[in-house]
Chains A and B, each alone.
Chain A
């Protein structure tokens, strides 16, 4: 990890792909004579070295050494030739030989380590640095770890692999977004997500472009093909993120895509097939059970006769029906993916190109995320001073949507789709006037019917995404490097839904038309920057590196609030007829470019939204290296943004840090036990600028089709000329150490982050007529410790056992919310609040102490701790925390010859889960189905029951509205330990198939999320709900409301290299 030594080389070599050029040799075979060049290649220790590329310069004729280090080049051209030996981590070397016609030449060679390459490099903001010189807290996650499990989106692959990075995978919905938090959470209303930078461009990362439609937020990261990622660097402290200024406070995730390397062509084909299912199934009541309990509640309420049933259902009908709605909405998801990539490397040109298709089916019937991705990255070295780099990716992500959570589907199966409801009518139904309403087989529509909802609508979100960049690197003189960069990130997001007329009104006498609606959004995100770097290494003991740069970013978002039309094409759908929706909109001349409402009735636009924001920045970094053991870094950035108020136009963000490689000191040098020891410390100020646009100016909104069909406009946002970024003051100190020749490596970091000017989206008095306004009023502390341990537990001839463990503890506290009350900012379902002295996202609940054995009523505590049967919001107290205290992961990799077993465990400790759905699943008997735990209810005096006496009347629970019943009864421990991955792979060595040579293949069986240990009584302890807005996303993870559980999957993948 830190030092150069032969163990790591062995490790690297065993993983390095072997190179081969046989196809070109074959091509030339028809006209070349039968000259042979052969030989033996050894490493610096004298061992035979497999996989070394040996090539004849100027041709594509070459070979690779076999396991014994031997190579043979057939049909070498005659005359004087230059033989090139290359292998990653070793110096490329050239040898001149003379080949006679029909002759045979033997050339043996000893490879020499390339010290510079072997140093591990990490990507930092606007550059790369040697790992040993880094003075900030950066965790690097390489490609293999990102793609080791099939996740809905690449960021989920980070879970458990980087200390201090809390990844809560999105729910079981296909393509869903994870919640990623670096070192806790320091924002309340502004987005608390890290800044995502792909190959230099801060990408569009708004999770609310599609709002919360259907119980899901759009995931702007899902279109990134994980297979294209070379590495992910997670920048955590101010020394690392300071260079990103006003956007670095919540950490930065740098994504670097693959580049062409080595020499010649390398190909990689990977396929994956698998199945998925939920980690847990809801245990809802069946029809008989539901009727029994409803009748019991009815009688408890003093009624006689049969209980009235929801949905206009009679008892006779109810008794004849027993629909298992969970079965109707949950199935087995099918997954398949195919990725082909080719890499080419040569003296002047490197190319990486890939094409991939993935169909990631979730366990929800009808739900899958399909991604078709294409990427090409090219490096062209014009000459030794000039290099051009271009990257382009085009991705089409199609989310075949279903309703979830509060919107229906499985959410309905867990709530208001009762087992007494049928899927279809059995009999003909007429109204009192004798009109035909339903025929047998028509969908039943008198209550929730998730099957009808799914079958009678087509719903598809299509995202076209293209992330591109061009850069020019010029070296006008020794040690001066100038880079110019332009990046462009384009997003075209269309959420299309077609609702069959029968869904809008199922009765056969209805004249309701079908409805087609589209929610289109376009984002154009431009970024350009330039940097100049000068390395002053005249004195090798005092090397100074200066970097200065500027950056300009502009992002424009344009969206229709909705385009819709009602039509009579009942029997057709746009999924069956590709382009139908486009065609229908085109007919009315509502095009992407047009903004006018057509005169023709039938097609409507609910108005458009158009926003632009920009950042203008300058930045500088100075690095100082003394004798390769003392390092210092100073960064500064000045950001101006259109989002900042005129009174706070520019922010200045400095950082300073230092590192000391103690192991280079005489007293440790040569130590047998301590192979590496570094102390680093850093301080800096960074910001979070995720402020909605135009807050500084205020805003009127213009709308069409208002009252009496008139256009209208209204004041929506009051100006706030003082609005500014959140300011994080971060201190970090860390120790990095390697022991026993780096067989054991460890990093421990302590940090303290004080965030001030925290943005709150405050709710003023409703009588102002304003819903919310933004202001910088809060303060938050995050402090914590992180630990990474890497160990090679066993390293025998054919057995290698590697263990990686990480843990992170984070303490989070809100220290101020200005003069506001906890209710001024709220999370999703009215259950989390901002309370001074408590963490962000504190559950704010009435305490529930149990069920009175004598009366069967719930007992609550008032604010003074006295028992009461009445639920009153005035008695809410801060309890529980949605943020875990500790998260981490443990990865074990066992290699036995060609077999490898990998196991990843992840854990989360110290959080609570608030199961908001339980209010109705286990509370008042309503038109929601209940869970079978409800059988433990009070029935007679003396009963020690978990749940109160059944009743249809909320007042018997001390409340008027069952939805208000937020109590600690539904607050549960959220600790869990999960087997995230178990995989078994077999490495097939290089082989021939017919006339084709292959470098190798890997077959892997992977089980994901197959076992979880938890005390949480609900479905799954890992919860990222659908969120309403960034505030909700910050404050209410770990709140579940009909949230689909995580998926478990079993896949087989096949990787072929040639």
Chain B
């Protein structure tokens, strides 16, 4: 063995190796096999149908966000519920001390942003499918924007102080997300978030882009209803009135005089404007998108987690025993301990309206009161709702009811008609931001704990958490 051989062999081997491997690079391009459910980004969206599937994915996660999960977060902060029975993270929210590890709050927060991510994925890929017609392109974009707006709206209402909490709404809101990038961003102001929401709605509500027909997907009517809620929250009662009125008169939805419950199945009912739909694959085989409602409120459950406050129960059962609304609630007793439950969520399957005709009536009514205009219409709306609730005219407003009476009646009915949707919290905060002295279970409407805390990893140098400490 000469010295040359001794020292050069490794070098030759290494060179040969590199040469050999250079020819193997193609082999290493292992892409997901055709048989699986994984596909590369470059192959994922080629046709209009692929893009539609991405849009469906946004609806899919939206349905798992609004299965009661989003709604319960708001309700827990109100005076409608007693202390949750299971002492878990719902208890923490109810105690107004949501921590960075609260699984329920964190889960809904994340899901809402997944829906936003998927909507953004749709919007970033609108130029790719060659078979996408302009009309379809506009429709898909409008639906994506509707979903994005809806999620940002509920997120900013729960994770930030309300609109008009500060002058110019410069107080911190949430992160506006418009891309599919994994990058840290800071908190936008509440004003920026609302502007962004309205921009998306403006696209979605354009004439001829979305169908006005109410179906399981977003519609123009739904976009209008969403904007009515946004304007209402912004104290823009004139615009809210107009929008609610537009929805009511659209002919797409109708007052349902027979059903006090909005949660119906298999059809969503005539009042539902946009709803989370549970699909029936076959007899009895339904992808129930109602878990967070039914799982927590089921009145027959041995440990009903979410129990009504006595105050709410009294208000809800004010009318004659056996009246339609009265039948939705129940008082139970074990060993001398009384508690109050709702039977609204007892059916095994039901669809979940996000906006309803009745909700629009009550927005219109309250706005009328606030504006002191069209009180006749407002009184008629409230009376229609009360007659349905009590099967009687005894509780009707008189035709000469004052604007304040109308406002009070609309708020009282909203608490009961929109019960457990979170609307109560947003209404109370809206009124607080308007200057009313609102105390909820002993705490002021704007104390730190009335705002949910962000998940731990949302915090960065750019993104301060909400004040801790609860209230």
Contacts and interface: CB of A to CB of B under 8 A. Distances in A.
Contacts of B281: 601, 604, 705, 709
Nearest to B155: A767
A954 B90 CA distance: 12
Given A620-B13, A769-B117, A961-B92, A699 B87 contact: no
B35 A595 contact: yes
A713 B25 contact: no
Interface in A922-967: 924, 926-927, 952, 954-955, 959-964
Interface in B1-46: 1, 6, 9-10, 13-14, 16-18, 20-21, 24-25, 27-33, 35-42, 44-45
B183 A768 contact: yes
A960 B89 contact: yes
Interface stretch (A3-11, A281-289, A605-613, A1013-1021): A605-613
A961 B335 contact: no
Given A312-B302, A608-B36, A699-B38, A614 B28 contact: yes
B10 A964 contact: no
B88 A963 contact: yes
A699 B53 contact: no
Interface stretch (B375-383, B431-439, B455-463): B455-463
Interface in B441-464: 455-460, 463
Contacts of B99: 872-873, 960-961, 964
B1 A544 contact: yes
A763 to B, nearest CB: 5
Nearest to A874: B468
B328 interface: no
A927 B304 CA distance: 13
A454 B113 CA distance: 39
Interface string A438-452: 000000001100000
A708 B460 contact: no
Contacts of A688: none
B125 to A, nearest CB: 9
A697 B44 CA distance: 12
B1 A539 contact: yes
A548 B13 contact: yes
A703 interface: yes
Interface string A558-577: 10010000100000000000
A306 B36 CA distance: 57
Contacts of B18: 638, 650
Contacts of A616: 21, 24, 27-28
A558 B20 CA distance: 30
B307 to A, nearest CB: 10
Contacts of B88: 961-963
Contacts of B293: none
Interface string A638-651: 10111010000110
Contacts of B9: 546, 622
B430 to A, nearest CB: 24
B277 A707 contact: yes
Contacts of A707: 56, 59-60, 62-63, 216, 277, 279
Nearest to A962: B87
A263 B317 CA distance: 93
A309 B302 CA distance: 10
A960 B84 CA distance: 11
B185 A702 contact: no
A711 B28 contact: no
A773 interface: yes
Contact of B287 (A697, A705, A763, A964): A705
Interface in A279-311: 305-306, 308-311
Interface string A677-691: 000000000000000
A212 to B, nearest CB: 17
Given A640-B28, A710-B56, A712-B53, A766 B116 contact: no
Nearest to B19: A618
B303 interface: yes
A130 interface: no
Contact of B184 (A705, A764, A964): A764
A526 interface: no
B113 A766 contact: yes
A558 B56 CA distance: 25
A700 B175 contact: no
Interface stretch (A349-357, A663-671, A714-722, A974-982): A714-722
A702 B28 contact: no
Interface in A92-121: none
A306 B336 CA distance: 7
Nearest to A606: B37
A640 B25 contact: yes
A703 B53 CA distance: 9
A694 B97 CA distance: 40
Contacts of A324: none
B187 to A, nearest CB: 10
Contact of A701 (B37, B95, B177): B37
B326 to A, nearest CB: 15
| Interface majority SS (helix, strand, loop, mixed), chain A | mixed
Given A712-B53, A960-B99, A768 B177 contact: yes
Contacts of B302: 310-313, 446-447
A638 B19 CA distance: 11
B314 interface: no
Nearest to B115: A769
A309 B335 CA distance: 9
B239 interface: no
A767 B188 CA distance: 12
A638 B25 CA distance: 13
B177 A542 contact: no
B284 A608 contact: no
Contacts of A650: 18, 21
Contacts of A960: 89, 91-93, 95, 97-99, 102, 470
Interface in B111-128: 113-118, 120-121
**Which of B13, B183, B281, B287 has the most chain A CB atoms inside 10 A of its CB?**
B13
Contact of B10 (A312, A634, A961): A634
A550 interface: yes
Contacts of B62: 707
A25 interface: no
Interface in B170-194: 174-175, 177, 180-185
Contacts of B102: 960-961
B57 A714 contact: yes
A712 B87 contact: no
Contact of A700 (B44, B174, B181, B285): B44
A697 B57 CA distance: 21
A388 interface: no
A1049 B96 CA distance: 51
Nearest to A960: B92
A308 B284 contact: no
A511 interface: yes
A955 to B, nearest CB: 6
A700 B41 contact: yes
Contacts of A737: none
A1001 interface: no
B277 A708 contact: yes
A620 B17 contact: yes
B91 A642 contact: no
Interface of A: 305-306, 308-315, 431, 446-447, 511, 513, 536, 538-539, 542, 544, 546, 548, 550, 552, 554, 556, 558, 561, 566, 595, 601-602, 604, 607-614, 616, 618, 620, 622, 634, 636, 638, 640-642, 644, 649-650, 693-694, 697-703, 705-716, 718-719, 763-771, 773, 821, 823-824, 830, 872-874, 924, 926-927, 952, 954-955, 959-964
Give the 10 A-B CB pairs with smallest separation, nearest first: A610-B36, A769-B117, A960-B92, A601-B282, A312-B302, A642-B30, A446-B302, A700-B44, A714-B57, A712-B56
17 contacts: A544-B1, A614-B27, A638-B18, A707-B216, A707-B277, A711-B53, A712-B57, A713-B44, A715-B180, A764-B182, A765-B457, A767-B113, A768-B113, A821-B457, A873-B101, A924-B87, A960-B92
